[in-house]
């Protein structure tokens, strides 16, 4: 056994970095990578989904409720203000902000699992529309959003997302 000790030490020294590298690659398999294909997912929404109207687009309470949901479910990947993070792309880019609300709703409903975006189909439909309303209120990064209230603004519904459609 003693004669194998030096060989085992060399083997361990060689394998340790390889195992560490393999573990790092496995851990980063779902790490967000910025590329044009991320936003191309929006164009994959079926025409019927893209033309779907957001019933809450003019509801100011939907933005506040959507913000709460976003902080609970989306900010860990997309960042506190939707500008992107290690795991998720920015939602404040032209491609998202000019996308049809129905396409964003479709992405929320179906996810993009191979890129790490979860399926939110079990989230009630009104809450998904609240998320869409909030995302659209963010505006393009570097521009002032047209209808987004200040991040710390409060309203009667700012702490609880609603599940009703108007």
- Range 50-66 burial, b when 16+ CB lie within 10 A, else e: bebebebeebebbbbbb
Instruction: Find the helix packing angle between 101-110 and 125-137, rounded to 10°.
Output: 130
pLDDT at 34: 58
Q: What is the pLDDT of residues 39-81, one digit of tens each?
A: 889 999 999 999 999 999 999 899 999 999 999 999 999 999 9
Q: How far, in Å, CA of 97 to CA of 136, rounded?
A: 6
Q: 99-113 pLDDT, tens per residue? A: 999 999 999 999 999
What ranges do the domains of the chain cover?
Answer: 1-30, 33-166
Residue 163 Ramachandran class (φ > 0 left, ψ -120 to 50 alpha, else beta): alpha
Neighbours of 22 (CB within 10 A): 11
33-166 CATH fold: Cytochrome Bc1 Complex; Chain D, domain 2 (1.10.760)
pLDDT in tens, 134-159: 999 999 987 655 544 444 444 444 44
Q: Which of 23-27, 83-87, 136-140, 144-148 has the lowest mean pLDDT?
A: 23-27
């Amino acid at each position: 056994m003693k004669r194998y000790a030096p060989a085992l030490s060399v083997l361990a020294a060689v394998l340790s970095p390889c195992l560490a590298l393999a573990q790092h690659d496995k851990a980063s398999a779902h790490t967000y990578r910025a590329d044009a294909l991320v936003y191309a997912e929006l164009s994959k929404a079926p025409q019927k989904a893209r033309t779907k109207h957001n019933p809450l687009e003019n509801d100011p309470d939907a933005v506040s409720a959507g913000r709460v949901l976003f902080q609970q479910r989306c900010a860990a990947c997309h960042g506190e203000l939707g500008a992107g993070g290690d795991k998720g792309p920015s939602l404040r880019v032209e491609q998202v902000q000019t996308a049809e609300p129905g396409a964003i709703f479709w992405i929320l409903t179906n996810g993009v699992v191979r890129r790490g975006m979860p399926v939110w189909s079990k989230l009630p439909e009104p809450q998904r529309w609240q998320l869409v309303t909030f995302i659209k209120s963010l505006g393009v990064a570097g521009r002032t959003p047209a209808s987004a209230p200040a991040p710390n603004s409060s309203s009667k519904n700012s702490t609880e997302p609603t599940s009703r459609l108007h």
